[in-house]
Amino acid sequence: MRMTSSSTNPRNFRNDIVFAFALALVCYLAWFVRDVLMLLYVSALFAVVLTPLVRSTSRFHIRNWTPFKGTAILVLLLVLAAALIAFGYLALPPVIRDLQTFSQEAPARLPGILEKLKRIPFLERLNDHAISGKVQDLASNAASYLLASIKDWVGIFFNIIMGFILTVYFILEGDQAYRWFLSFFPPAGRDRLDQALRRAELRMGKWLLGQASLMLIFGVSSTIVFLALHVRYAYALGVLAGAMNIIPVIGAAFTIGLALLVAAIDSWGRVLGIAIFYFIYLQVENSYLTPRIMKSSVNLPGLAILISLLFGSALAGIPGALVSVPTAVLVSVLVDEFLVYKNTD
């Protein structure tokens, strides 16, 4: 027995050392390609969330013709392109026209703008020369920043295109990739993991439906208020409000700031009206709409959603914030399945 123990222990010890070094090497290499891994993860998660929508489209039939998965993706892309074209045709011309008019009338309107700036608290003591100098410095800094960040914007645009292509491929070949992923696990726990991941997929699909409902409510109500207050670019701001609401907290904050800035061009009364509307709406959404819609779909507490948003935005910026809630859903399902000790009595 001693000889058997002495002969097996060194082998197990060597295996543990080799495994530790291999794991350290994998982590070291993963750190260098972390951006690529994050892009793959975000694309895969988007594919999981959008797959139920593609399946619903593929079940739609006209007489005897039923689109397969690739055709369903093409139909969804055409619908998205048509929506973007319609938005650009209806919402962008007023913005472009006002920008052209402002650039032509800027020299004549500059004294009036300076007078309005003087009425802002903490700026009334500045003279015209100081304010104009600040404006010129701000404009020059903004121009230099835009020139310096062209390379970054090109990289962001490339990542968006690649993420879009990867998402389409994951939707088309996701079943094969999913079976390949499960093949790395032993047969004893493979079925259990498969059932847990399918539950997570179902909850992610419900999250998309709930998030789409919140986006629609927020966009429609914002558009109605903008039209009632005669705010410029009411339709564009309303559509943008609904679209940006897919990003929790950050999207709504950006929309509110932009709407207040546009309203401040014409009247401080409109600024007050928009501020009152958003204050009331956020109270209703946080206390009534979100708990009722998201609780039944995501089944996560608000603190977990906020923490996941912070981690997602810190790790991957806006794409990380977009997939933060589905990631929290996935983690909660896996933790509940494999780490939580349940009472079976």
pLDDT digits (tens, 9 = 90+) for 151-204: 666 777 787 788 888 888 888 887 888 888 888 888 878 888 888 888 888 888
Q: How far apart are CA 277 and CA 261, in angstroms?
A: 15
pLDDT digits (tens, 9 = 90+) for 201-230: 888 877 777 888 888 888 899 989 988 988
Distance of CA 232 to the CA centre of its chain: 26
In three-state secondary structure terms, 175 is helix
> In whole angstroms, how far apart are CA 74 and each of 57, 165, 282?
10, 13, 36
The predicted pLDDT at position 301 comes to 73
pLDDT digits (tens, 9 = 90+) for 283-340: 887 777 776 776 666 777 777 777 887 888 777 777 777 788 888 888 888 888 887 7
The predicted pLDDT at position 276 comes to 92
Q: How far apart are CA 209 and CA 223, in angstroms?
A: 21
| Dihedral angle sign, alpha carbons of residues 292, 295, 297, 298 | positive
Long-range pairs for 154-162: beta carbons < 8 A, 24 or more residues apart: 159/39, 162/39
Task: Provide the token pair at 207.
Answer: 């999250």
Whole-model pTM: value is 0.66
| Dihedral angle sign, alpha carbons of residues 261, 262, 268, 271 | negative
pLDDT digits (tens, 9 = 90+) for 15-66: 777 778 887 888 888 788 878 888 888 888 888 877 777 777 766 666 666 6
CB contact set of 325 (below 8 Å; sequence gap of 6+)? 207, 211, 248, 298, 300, 305, 308, 309
Torsion of CA 158, 161, 163, 168, to 10 degrees: -160
Quickly list H helices, the chain. 2-32, 34-58, 69-118, 128-148, 150-182, 187-228, 234-244, 250-263, 268-284, 290-297, 302-322, 324-338
State the DSSP code for 120: S
Exposed, middle or buried: residue 320 (CB in 10 Å: 0-12, 13-18, 19+)? buried
Exposed, middle or buried: residue 43 (CB in 10 Å: 0-12, 13-18, 19+)? buried
The amino acid at 311: F
In three-state secondary structure terms, 65 is strand
Q: How far apart are CA 248 and CA 309, in angstroms?
A: 7
Question: For residue 237, which of 208, 269, 277 has the smallest C-alpha distance?
Answer: 277
Q: How far apart are CA 40 and CA 169, in angstroms?
A: 11
Whether residue 252 is predicted with pLDDT greater than 70 in this model: the reply is yes
Q: How far apart are CA 67 and CA 62, in angstroms?
A: 9
Q: How far apart are CA 312 and CA 330, in angstroms?
A: 14
The predicted pLDDT at position 1 comes to 45
pLDDT digits (tens, 9 = 90+) for 94-120: 777 776 776 666 666 666 666 665 565
Distance of CA 333 to the CA centre of its chain: 21
More confident: 131 or 278: 278
Q: How far apart are CA 203 and CA 296, in angstroms?
A: 9
Question: For residue 54, which of 74, 82, 73, 80 has the smallest C-alpha distance?
Answer: 73
Question: Phi and psi of 340, rounded to 5°?
Answer: -90, 125
Torsion of CA 142, 146, 149, 154, to 10 degrees: 150
